[in-house]
């Protein structure tokens, strides 16, 4: 009995240097729509966030919701296609994207964090000029209301983190005319992390990390290799925006970007409180 308790004490002591290292720092976590679909891991994710916040880390969550958007599009009978991992977003699709991300997924995450004792507050990029974007084409093709971030106003994020709250951000931006834009959540998280000069950006997804051409998890990936890996097809679909935002975040001064499997229980703590970490680090 006492040994089991001492083991618990040892675990806490082991974590101490990491807690010290990260106290006062900003951590941006991109919580992918695929990672969310494991209920048990979703609860442990919320618990991890609350723990990290209570040891003085400023935690900011940006979430995705690809599968949840797809479910609703199917339900209302809207067909959807992708171009290089970006959802082609006509006006009707944009309406669903906004409804699902801001009205459903965001609120579910906020509730889950609050249920386990945290204080989270939901925001979308449209709130208070948080995320201002610009419509883009992908591979020279019109993909509708898909955008990239041009401007981040982090004042409300700072207000929340300084006030002991966890901001949970839905990746819907507005353009210069105030019209909504569908922003890939990785890109939104990357822009927020770069702007806040976050110590770390964690991209929580549904794979153990970036897989190489042989299907093996790469423990590190150099941003200089990303272009080649996209060209030869090693990186495809949703991994492309993830790698682009990682490279940009690193270039902007974010010290570490990690791709982590969010379906594993307590994946965030395993990543933060061990030397080697789990998943893939982009350098
Ligand atoms: N080289 C690669 N290594 C790992 N995954 C890859 C690779 N190339 C493509 N992928 C795909 O990228 C997917 C992850 O991106 P995806 O956009 O689907 O999820 P997400 O970003 O976590 O969720 P959401 O888009 O809802 O926020 C993986 O499930 C995998 O199918
Ligand atoms: Mg994605």
**Does some domain include residue 130?**
yes
Ligand 1 geometric centre to CA of 237 (Å) = 6
pLDDT of 154-200, one tens digit each? Answer: 999 999 999 999 999 999 999 999 999 999 999 999 999 999 999 99
In this prediction the pTM is 0.94
Nearest atom in ligand 1 to 35's CA: 22
Backbone φ and ψ of 219, nearest 5°: -75, -35
Q: pLDDT tens for residues 30-82?
A: 999 899 988 899 999 999 999 999 999 999 999 999 999 999 999 999 999 99
Which atom of ligand 1 sits closest to the CA of residue 31?
27
Considering the domain boundaries, does residue 23 fall inside one?
A: no
Test site for ligand 1: of 34, 209, 219, most ligand atoms within 8 A of the Cβ: 34
| Percentage of the chain modeled with pLDDT above 70 | 99
What is the tens place of the pLDDT at every residue in 111-158? 999 999 999 999 999 999 999 999 999 889 999 999 999 999 999 999
CATH value at residue 228: 3.40.1160.10
Residue 242 lies in a domain: yes
**Does residue 16 sit in helix, strand or coil?**
helix
Domain that residue 164 falls in = 29-282
Q: Is 57 helix (H, G, I), strand (E, B) or coil?
A: coil
The answer to whether residue 143 sits within a structural domain is yes
Query: Which phi and psi angles does 259 have, rounded to 5°?
Result: -100, 120
Protein residue with its CA nearest to atom 9 in ligand 1: 236
Assigned domain for 9 exists: no
What is the tally of structural domains in the chain?
1
pLDDT of residue 276: 67
- Of 207, 212, 230, 234, the residue with max ligand 1 atoms within 8 A of its CB, to mutate for a pocket test, comes to 207
Is 14 a domain residue? Answer: no
Q: Is residue 1 part of a domain?
A: no
* Ion ligand 2 residue ranges (Cβ < 5 Å): 238
Q: Which of 27, 28, 37 is nearest to 62 (CA)?
A: 28
Question: Which of 65, 184, 239, 246, when mutated, tests ligand 1's pocket best, judged by the most ligand atoms within 8 Å of its CB?
Answer: 239
Task: Give the ligand at the shortest distance from the Cα of 259.
Answer: 1
Q: Is residue 17 part of a domain?
A: no
- Residues at CB less than 6 angstroms from ligand 1: 32-35, 64-66, 185-186, 205-207, 210-211, 234-239
CA 36 to chain centre: 11
Residue range 69-118, pLDDT digits in tens: 999 999 999 999 998 778 999 999 999 999 999 999 999 999 999 999 99
DSSP string, 54-104: HTT-EEEEEE--HHHHHHHHHHHT----EETTEEPB-HHHHHHHHIIIIII
pLDDT digits (tens, 9 = 90+) for 221-265: 998 899 999 999 999 988 998 999 999 999 999 999 999 999 999
Tell me the pLDDT band of 277, cut-offs 50, 70 and 90.
Answer: confident
């Amino acid at each position: 009995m006492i040994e089991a308790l001492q083991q618990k004490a040892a675990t806490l002591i082991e974590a101490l240097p990491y807690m010290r290292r990260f106290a006062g720092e900003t951590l941006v976590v991109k919580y992918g729509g695929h990672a969310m679909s494991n209920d048990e891991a979703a609860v442990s994710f919320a618990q991890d966030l609350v723990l990290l916040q209570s040891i003085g880390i400023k935690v900011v969550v940006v979430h995705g919701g690809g599968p949840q958007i797809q479910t609703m599009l199917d339900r209302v009978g809207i067909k959807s296609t992708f171009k290089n991992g970006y959802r082609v977003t006509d006006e009707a699709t944009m309406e669903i994207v906004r409804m699902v991300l801001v009205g459903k997924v965001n609120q579910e995450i906020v509730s889950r964090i609050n249920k386990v004792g945290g204080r989270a507050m939901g925001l979308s990029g449209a709130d208070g000029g948080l995320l201002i974007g610009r419509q883009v084409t992908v591979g020279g093709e019109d993909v509708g209301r898909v955008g990239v971030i041009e401007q981040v106003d982090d004042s409300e994020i700072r207000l929340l983190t300084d006030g002991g709250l966890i901001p949970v951000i839905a990746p819907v931006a507005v353009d210069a005319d105030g019209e909504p834009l569908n922003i890939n959540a990785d890109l939104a998280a990357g822009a927020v992390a770069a702007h806040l000069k976050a110590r770390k950006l964690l991209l929580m997804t549904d794979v153990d990390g970036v897989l190489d051409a042989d299907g093996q998890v790469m423990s590190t990936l150099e941003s200089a290799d990303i272009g080649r890996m996209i060209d030869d097809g090693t990186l495809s679909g949703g991994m492309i925006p993830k790698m682009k935002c990682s490279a940009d975040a690193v270039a902007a001064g974010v010290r570490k970007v990690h791709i982590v499997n969010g379906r594993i229980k307590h994946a965030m703590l395993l990543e933060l409180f061990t030397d080697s970490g789990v998943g893939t680090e982009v350098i």
